[in-house]
Every structure is written in C-alpha cells, then in structure tokens.
Amino acid sequence: MPRFSVKWVVAVVLIGVVGGAFFFCEYLIYFPTILKCAWPKISHARGGEGIDGHSVDSAVRAMVLSDTHLLGAVGGHWFDKLRREWQMERAFQTALWLLRPEIVFILGDIFDEGKWSSQKHWEDDVRRFHRMFRHSTDTELVVLVGNHDIGFHYEMDWFKLQRFEKVFNASSTRIVTKKGVNFLLVNSVALHGDGCPICQSVEKELIKLSRDLNCSLQSAQSGSGVMDGCEGSQLYPPTPPIMLQHYPLFRVSDAGCTGQDAAPPEERHLLFREKYDVLSKEASQKLLQWFKPRLILSGHTHSGCEVLHDNKYPEISVPSFSWRNRNNPSFILATVSPSSYTLSKCFLPEESTVISVYCSAGACLLLLFLAHCLWMKGLLQCLSLCLLGKHKSL
C-alpha cells in the first residue's frame, strides 16, 4: 500500500475515534439515558383520597428540577461555564423532546451570582438562561426564587427581587393552577421571621393565599356558595396544594436520607443551620398549618431526600440539575391529579461516564499512533534492507 494511502487511513480512523467520542458524549448519551424515564401512572398514586382512576392524560405532567446555578462573570471560569451549561441545555432539550411535560418548575438558584451581579452581567446571565431553557408554547416554564438569585436574607433587597420577578413576569409568591391542581410557589428566602419589609410582604401574601384556599375548600364542602368571612376571597379548585420552594422545611440533618442521589455518607450527619440550610422551625410550622400541603418539593441542598413532617406531610428534596454540583444530576417527573399524585426520578448521564469515554478515546488514539509509528518504523527498516541488498548485488 502506498505511503499516502496509509496516512489517509490513519487520519480517517483518528477522526472517526475523536468524532465518535465527541458525538456520543455531547449529544447521543442523553437519549438512551432519558429514554429510561417514563411518566408514572396515576393509578399507583399516593397523597390523595386513594386511587381516583384518573389517566395520565387527564392529570398534570410536571417536570421538576432545581439549582441550575448558571455561572456568572465573577466566579465562573469560561470552560467550566461552557461545559456545565452545555450539559444542562442538552439534558433539558432532550427531556422536553422525549417526555413533553405540560409544565416545568425550577426550584430556585437559577443563577449563581444573581445576588451580586451588575445589570450588564445580569442581562447576560438571563440571555443565556433563555437560550438554554427555551421551550415551545405547549410547555409552561415556572421559575422560583433562590438565595443565589437575590441573595441570602441579609443580602436581599427590593431591587434584586423585583429584577428577578420582572425577568420571569410573575410574583415570587403565588398559586399556579393547572387542570384543577394548585401549585403553591413560596419565596422561602423571605421567611426569615424578623419583620423585614420583604418578609412582611411575603408573609402577608401567604396569609391571603391561605385564606383563599381554605375558603375554597370550605365552600366546596358546604355546597352553599361563599362562606361567612370569605367575602372577596379568590376561589381556587378545592384541593390541598402542592407546595414548591427553594429552602427545605426544617430538619436536623440528612441522616435519614438514602438513595444514590443522597448526600455523601460523610456529610449526612452534619447538622443543618436554621435560616441558612433549611427554614426555621417556626416558619416551617406556619407553612404546614396555613396550607396543609399534600406534598412539598424543595431544592437548595443539591442532594435528594424524602422526609415526612408531622407524620403526614411528605417533602421531597430535588437534587441539583448541574454537573457542577453533583456527578449524577436528576429531576422529578410528577403526574398529579386533583386528589392524587405519583412521582418518579429521572437520572441524567454521570459526568464520570463522559470523562471515562473521553479518556478511553484518548487511549485508543495513543495506541493507534504508536501502532502507526511502529508499522512505519518496520516498513522503513524493510525498505532499508532491500536497498542495502540491491546495493551489495551491484
């Protein structure tokens, strides 16, 4: 075989290995992983009055993820930003295409540096978010506020909160109703309980929403229209809400959390700090008493956990969606009817798997290169011997 043909064969093989590894790791790997996920059937539901016979099509199909932490201009290295944001974009777009949720909730900490970013950097972060999490009109995207979006309580101010609410065109504390299901969105960053202006405003809104929901339930149970004391209240579907927020309700630690997405064993027994890692006991009890939610979904810890409060209020902590925070990100698939719900967890490709594939491809390239060098060296030696033999015969 001529030498130029050998070079072309080697070049094609090398390009094939590099291109194949890149295509698999950056595009293809998300499809088989997310194809393993499916919407849970409502007939196996919990959290309502029992099995209600609703089909998946008549219930709400909600996708819930958390803690995307888009890196900012200050602490975000360009390669880290590129790598992790591409991972989230491909995972989200693939999930939308394969699963087609009706509504998507992101439980706060959308941005990593919203608490201190300048207006210019904020606008750049928002632009990247809208590109990554673009969606069709068939899917509603609902975003909650987290401490990295507007700052911890001592960093939070009206400018940051209103800037966030303006971008997502909605109040940070409200009820979203879909197919008779009430989703209660809570600005948990403002539940500090110290009487700060934002805290007072959020608590006032929560009390109003609690009154509206209780009046809706009482009116439906009595069947006699508006109850006394409920004049002027807004009526919602008469069903306990699904409560969504960034901070988890109070718990001592993650010691009781299990599963492949739980916190590492060495971190599970670390005590949580009230008003920093979790809500305070007082704020947690207020929310439970006001709303009596049938399910709580929260983020913030970056790890998965399932907790039962007061032996009747289940809470699911949703892990981070980003490789930056964990090796095995995931999200929740929820099928929810007015009286029941059921959940399943969908894991994304592990970052370690992608790194292993690239390392394997690199090893293959090195072996091919060495084999090519040895083959060329042997060919040269053979040609040298042939030429030497001809020279002696002459």
Model confidence pLDDT, tens digit, residues 323-349: 999 999 999 999 999 989 999 999 999
Dihedral sign computed on CA atoms, order 148, 166, 93, 25: negative
Q: Is 154 helix (H, G, I), strand (E, B) or coil?
A: coil
pLDDT at 51: 39
Rounded to an integer, what distance in angstroms lies between the CA atom of residue 302 and that of residue 258?
A: 14
Three-class HEC string of 170-202: CCCCEEEEECCEEEEEECHHHCCCCCCHHHHHH
Q: Is the pLDDT of residue 2 over 60?
A: no
Taking Cα atoms as reference points, which of 344, 328, 319, 248 lies closest to residue 66?
Answer: 319
Backbone torsions φ then ψ of 384, nearest 5 degrees: -65, -45
Dihedral sign computed on CA atoms, order 296, 300, 306, 311: negative
CB 185, CB 174: distance < 8 Å: yes
84-to-90, 99, 263 alpha-carbon distances in Å: 10, 22, 20
Q: Is the pLDDT of residue 380 over 90?
A: no
Dihedral sign computed on CA atoms, order 275, 280, 284, 289: negative
The whole-model pTM stands at: 0.88
Q: To the nearest whole percent, how much of the chain has pLDDT over 70?
A: 86
Rounded to an integer, what distance in angstroms lies between the CA atom of residue 285 and that of residue 310?
A: 10
In the chain the beta strands, taken as DSSP E runs, fall at 60-65, 103-106, 140-143, 174-178, 181-186, 242-245, 295-298, 305-309, 313-317, 330-336, 341-347
pLDDT grade, residue 53 (50/70/90)?
very low
- Listing DSSP states for 296-354 in one string gives EEE-SSSS-EEEEETTTEEEEEPPBSSTTT-SS-EEEEEEE-SS-EEEEEEEPPPHHHH
pLDDT at 226: 62
Rounded to an integer, what distance in angstroms lies between the CA atom of residue 322 and that of residue 306?
A: 20
Rounded to an integer, what distance in angstroms lies between the CA atom of residue 148 and that of residue 379?
A: 62
Dihedral sign computed on CA atoms, order 309, 311, 315, 317: positive
pLDDT at 379: 55
CB atoms within 10 A of CB 368: 14
Model confidence pLDDT, tens digit, residues 160-213: 999 999 999 888 899 999 999 999 999 999 998 888 999 999 999 999 999 999
CB 156, CB 150: distance < 8 Å: yes
Rounded to an integer, what distance in angstroms lies between the CA atom of residue 160 and that of residue 150?
A: 5
pLDDT at 382: 58
Average per-residue pLDDT for the chain: 87
Which of the residue ranges 254-263, 339-348, 362-371 would you say has the lowest mean pLDDT? Answer: 362-371
pLDDT at 375: 66
- The token pair at 377 is 């060296």
Q: Is 111 helix (H, G, I), strand (E, B) or coil?
A: strand
- Which residue has tokens 């948990």? 188
Rounded to an integer, what distance in angstroms lies between the CA atom of residue 294 and that of residue 47?
A: 6
Q: Which residues of 35-48 are buried (b: 16+ CB within 10 A; e: fewer)?
A: eebebbebeebebb
- CB-side neighbour CA atoms (13 Å) of 303: 19
Q: At what angle do helices 197-222 and 281-291 cross, to 10 degrees?
A: 30
pLDDT at 364: 83
